Structure 1
Amino acid sequence: MSIQEVLQVPIHETFQSTVQGEGFWIGALVDFIRLSGCPVRCSWCDTGYSDGGANAPREIKSFTELIKELQSSRVVISGGEPFIHKQLPQLVQALLDTDRQVNIETSGAFWQEIPSSAWITLSPKHHLSPSYPVKELFWERANEIKFVISTGQELEFYNDYLLTVKDRPIFLQPEWNVRDRAVSIILDLLKQNPNYRLSLQTHKYIGVA
């Protein structure tokens, strides 16, 4: 039995041949692997972890099973919170070994070393969950930073860190439940920060997973 058949991770759900709806890789054809579990408890979580995810889907799959499902050349690992899983570095490497590109979406509250070629999208949630600050190393390691905006005060919370990441693309994304109001707020924020960019959840607008 191979190591990939032995190694397993808890899965929330998977999607194949869909599009990345947010951030830098918007519009790219991707597969999604959503890992199960997240303790951060964002009130607007769209994958069922606002209450810890007691009733959220959970299925154990081997790396071999996950790789057999893949259809696209880019794989997005999201959650939940991927970095809570100790198998994450090995999963990333197993996906890279299939000559695929790997993106990971994280709150930054948990740190593990992963292969340097993996793309990290940091979406901080410390302002929502005081017990889960962003690990310092993520501000250096993240390839892009995405803020979910509902009030406009989110950027003020991270102002000191934003001064250190001017070389990275920064996206402002309206919180879906208040998107009309949030878009207006973001337009004002873009006037103050013209190097930032608007990120819309386009997959929701076009009705794909």
Structure 2
Amino acid sequence: MKQNQVLLDSEMKTFNIVEIFSSLSGEGSTAGVPASFVRVDSCNLRCSFCDTKYSYNHEFTTMTFKEIVDMLKTFDNKVVVCTGGEPLLNKNNARLLPLLLSNEGFQVYIETNGSVKLYREEELLQGKRENIHYVVDIKTPASQMERFDCIEHNSCLLLDGDEIKCVVASKEDIEFCKNKISKIFNNIKDKKINIILSPVFGEIKLQDLAEYVMQMKSIMKDSCLTVKLGIQLHKLIWPHIEKGV
């Protein structure tokens, strides 16, 4: 009954939305795939290399869930990326939005900064977990937010199709990620999870990242994990455009 009531009430729930747009997914397992993006307001972190600082300036439009879905349907994309800001904050219904979108048949990817605990089991009853995929950051020293990282807890909740993303700016960051992944390896080794190494543009040589990816390949050969080099395609295609890509 509780789940049914949530769904019945969903159309009129309101959310603070910074932007909604259609583009090519720029990174991760969906890189190059047409996708819709829903960027929510507010973030609990202030990463040094954040490229969407406008998402926590509190410049947003309050939209009902029905308005959001109607707009997404005009794009005709199966994939929806919920991003921010931080979409898993319990603020202005943001945490509920991916669950509701999953019930509309969208394949929902949640880009979370890794400092917020993932959905509890009772929350997932409000959505379709098979339509929900986490993209969880490991915060590196370059972000200056590494003390807020909770990947060791969150890794236990990851499933096939989820992703772990490491944005790195130096060899120190690479070693940091290597140590983190070693700590959580037993939690994730039997799951089909992508581990993505992504550079802070202009801060690290792609060759260094590529070398690390090749090293990790051998370490993970007896697991179900896949390690990948991730480059933000949208920054290559639209290098001078900040919003809407």
TM-score normalised according to structure 2 size? 0.74
Secondary structure, in 3 states, of the residue corresponding to 1:188? helix
Native 8 Å contact 2:17 2:61 kept in 1: yes
Structure with more helix by fraction:
2
Please report how far the alpha carbon of residue 22 of structure 1 lies from its aligned counterpart in structure 2 after TM superposition. Answer: 0.2
Aligned AA (1:111): K
- Indicate if the aligned counterparts of 2:213 and 2:228 stay in contact, CA closer than 8 A: yes
The answer to whether residue 104 in structure 2 is matched with residue 73 in structure 1 is: no
Q: Distance in 2 between matches of 1:175 and 1:126?
A: 11
Deviation at 1:185, TM superposition (A): 2.0
Corresponding residue number in structure 2 for 1:199 = 230
Aligned match of 1:141: 157
Q: Which runs of 4+ in 1 moved over 6 A?
A: none
Deviation at 1:112, TM superposition (A): 4.2
The structure-2 alpha-carbon separation of the partners of 1:190 and 1:135, relative to structure 1 and needing over 3 Å to count, comes to closer
The change in CA–CA distance for 1:141 and 1:88 in structure 2 (over 3 A counts) is farther
Distance 1:126 1:192, change over 3 A: closer
Q: Does 1:58 align with 2:60?
A: yes
Q: Which residue matches 1:10?
A: 16
| AA of the residue aligned to 1:144 | E
Matched with 2:223 is none
Query: Which deviates more, 58-67 or 130-139?
Result: 130-139
Give the match for residue 176 of structure 2: 157
Which residue does the alignment assign to 1:132?
A: 148
Q: In 1, Cα distance between the equivalents of 2:98 and 2:210?
A: 36
- Cα distance, 1:152 vs structure 2: 2.2
Q: Percent identity of the aligned residues?
A: 27
What is the number of residues matched between the two proteins?
Answer: 202
TM-score computed with the length of structure 1 as normaliser = 0.85
Report deviation, 1:5. Answer: 3.6
Runs of 5+ unmatched residues, structure 1: none
- 3-state SS, counterpart of residue 205 of structure 2: helix
- Pairing partner for 1:83 from 65, 85, 88: 88
Moved more, 143-152 or 164-173: 164-173
CA-based RMSD of the aligned residues comes to 2.3
Q: Is the radius of gyration larger for structure 1 or structure 2?
A: 2
Q: 1:135 to 1:88 in 2, by over 3 A?
A: farther
Structure 2 CA distance, aligned partners of 1:44 and 1:27? 23
CA contact 1:33–1:76 (8 Å) conserved in 2: yes
Shift of 1:174: 0.9
Gaps of 5+ in 2: 1-7, 218-225, 239-243
Indicate the residue corresponding to 1:184 in structure 2. 207
Counterpart-to-counterpart distance in 2, 1:29 and 1:131 = 34
Residue type at the aligned position of 1:107: N
Which residue in the other structure is 1:174 paired with? 199
Tell me how far apart the structure 2 counterparts of residues 138 and 39 of structure 1 sit (CA, whole Å): 17
Q: Answer yes or no: is the 8 Å Cα contact 2:16–2:62 preserved in 1.
A: yes
Quote the residue 1:43 is aligned against.
Answer: 48
Whole-Å separation in 2 of the counterparts to 1:138 and 1:189: 24
